[in-house]
Amino acid sequence: MIPMKKILVTGGAGFIGSAVLRQFLNETDCHVVNVDKLTYAGNLQSLASVSDSPRYAFEKVDICDAAEVARVFREHQPDALMHLAAESHVDRSISGPAEFIQTNIFGTYTLLEAARNHWNNLEGDKKADFRFHHISTDEVYGSLGDEGFFTEDTAYKPNSPYSASKASSDHLVRAWHHSYGLPVVTTNCSNNYGPYHFPEKLIPLVILNAVNGKPLPIYGKGDNIRDWLYVDDHARALRLVLEKGTLGETYNIGGRNEKTNLEVVQTICAILDELRPQGAPHSQLITYVTDRPGHDMRYAIDASKIANDLGWKPLETFDTGLRKTVQWYLSNTDWVQGVTSGDYQNWVQQNYTNRSAT
C-alpha cells in the first residue's frame, strides 16, 4: 500500500467530498487539504465534526483559477490529489450548461497542469507514489436498455451537458497520462445517496418534501432506473483505488441496487410512515410531473473489476442505507435548516473571502 501523508481533495465541502474527508480524518492519520470554491453545493457545515482537526486545512479556491491552484500545490506539497469538485446536477446542466463546461472541463485541465508541474518537480519515492485520482460518473456511458451493465470497456455516449462535461474531463485525464506520464487513476460511480446530500437531488428532496407535506415530484412515469450506492461505501472505494489502483486504469463503482424512481420514492414513504406516522400515508404526496429532457432510462454498473482486483464490496444494502439516510435527515435538523434557509451561505460569506478576489 502506498503511504499517503497529505491528500489534496477538491470539492471537499460537497456531498461525496465531505464523506471522503470525514473518513480520512476519522479513520486514518492522513492530512487533508480541502480545495473548494463553495458554490451553492459547498457547505462547510458538513465538515463541522472534523474541521477542528490539526490535520485539516481549507482553501477557498476556484479550480479554474490557475494562479491560486498553483499556489495551493506550492504551499501544501501534496502526495496525492483526489478531484471531486464539479457542477453535479443534471437538471441545472440542462437549464444552464456554461458553469459545467467551465468547472468540469476547464477546471480539470487547470488541475492537470498544476499537478503535472508539481509532479515534474518531485523526486524519488515522492514522484513514483504521486497520484491524480479523477472522480467521475457512470453517466458518461449514456443509457442502458432493459439488459446489460456498464463495464470499464463500455463506449462513452454522454447525453446531458453534465455527462458530456464529465466525459470530456475523463478524456483529458487519460490524455495527461498517455502524453505526459502523469500518474492517474479514474473512477466512474453510480448514483450516491446518504447524509449531507443537497436537497435538489431525488432522495433528499423527497425525504424533506414528504416530512413537510409537500408534493413528491416524479419525472415522467417514474420507471427510469438508477443503481444506488451509499455514500460511505463510495468513499471507501475511492480510498482503496487511490491506494491500490493500477496507474492509468479506470474502475467502475456501483452497488448492484437497481431501483425505479417510483420504487425509491415509495420506499422512502413507507419508512416515513413508520417513523412519522402522523403524515401517513406519505405516498399520497406523489405527483407526476413533466419529464427531464433527454432523461436517461437506465444505469447499472458491473463492479466486478474493483471487487476482484482490489477486494471492494459495499457494506450497506439499499434497505439499511436508505433507512439510515431518512433517520439522518430527521435527526439533523440544524443542517437541514441551514441548507433550506440558505444560512450556510451567509455563514460562509461572513467567515471567508476569496484570496484571489482580495
User: Binding residues for ligand DAU, per CB under 6 A?
Assistant: 88-90, 137-139, 190-191, 201-202, 205, 217-219, 224, 226, 261, 292, 299
- Residue 73, phi then psi, degrees to nearest 5: -60, -45
Closest-by-Cβ residue to ligand DAU is 137
Least distance (Å) from ligand DAU to the CB of residue 209? 9
Residue 189 sits in the site that holds ligand NAD (CB under 6 A): yes
Of 201, 218, 255, nearest to 91 (Cα)?
A: 201
DSSP-derived secondary structure letter, 218: E
Using rule CB under 6 A, residue 14 touches ligand NAD:
yes
Three-class SS state of 283: helix
Pick the binder of ligand NAD from 37, 76, 118, 133 (CB under 6 A).
37
138 is catalytic: yes
142 vs 165: CA distance, rounded Å: 13
85: contact with ligand NAD by CB under 6 A: yes
Sign of CA dihedral 30, 312, 201, 340: negative
Q: At closest approach, how far in Å is the CB of 193 from ligand NAD?
A: 7
- Burial of 224-253, coded b for 16+ CB within 10 Å and e otherwise, reads bbbbbbbbbbbbbbbbbbbbebeeeebbbb
Which 105-144 positions form the footprint of ligand NAD (CB under 6 A)?
107, 135-137
CB of residue 276 to ligand NAD, shortest distance in Å = 26
Q: What are phi and psi of 21, to 5 degrees?
A: -65, -45
Annotated catalytic residue 196: no
CB neighbour list of residue 343: distance below 8 Å, 6 or more residues apart: 337
Q: Is 242 in the site for ligand NAD (CB under 6 A)?
A: no
Of residues 86, 115, 184, 268, which one binds ligand NAD by CB under 6 A?
86
Q: Amino acid identity, residue 278?
A: Q
Active-site residue, selected from the candidate residues 139, 170, 232, 302: 139
Q: Distance (Å, rounded) from C-alpha 173 to C-alpha 184? A: 7
36 binds ligand NAD (CB under 6 A): yes
Which residue has the CB atom at the shortest distance from ligand NAD?
A: 14
Q: Considering the complex, state which of residue 192 and residue 285 has its C-beta at the smaller distance from ligand NAD.
A: 192
* Min CB(77)–ligand DAU separation in Å: 30
Rounded-to-integer distance, Cα 206 and Cα 297, Å: 20
Residue 98: CB atoms within 10 A of its CB come to 10
| Smallest distance from ligand NAD to CB 243, Å | 19
109, 141, 162, 344: the active-site residue: 162
Residue 251 or 285 having the CB closest to ligand NAD:
251
C-alpha cell at 140: 458518461
Task: Name the catalytic one among 36, 62, 65, 138.
Answer: 138
Q: Does the annotation count 343 as an active-site position?
A: no
Shortest distance in whole angstroms from residue 12 CB to ligand DAU: 16
The answer to whether 227 contacts ligand NAD (rule: CB under 6 A) is no
Q: What are phi and psi of 153, to 5 degrees?
A: -100, 0
Residue 331, Cβ density class (10 Å: 0-12 exposed, 13-18 middle, ≥19 buried): exposed
Residues touching ligand NAD: how many (CB under 6 A)? 31
Catalytic residues: 138-139, 162
- Chain residues that interact with ligand NAD, rule: CB under 6 A: 10-11, 13-17, 36-39, 41-42, 62-64, 84-88, 103, 107, 135-137, 166, 189, 191-192, 198
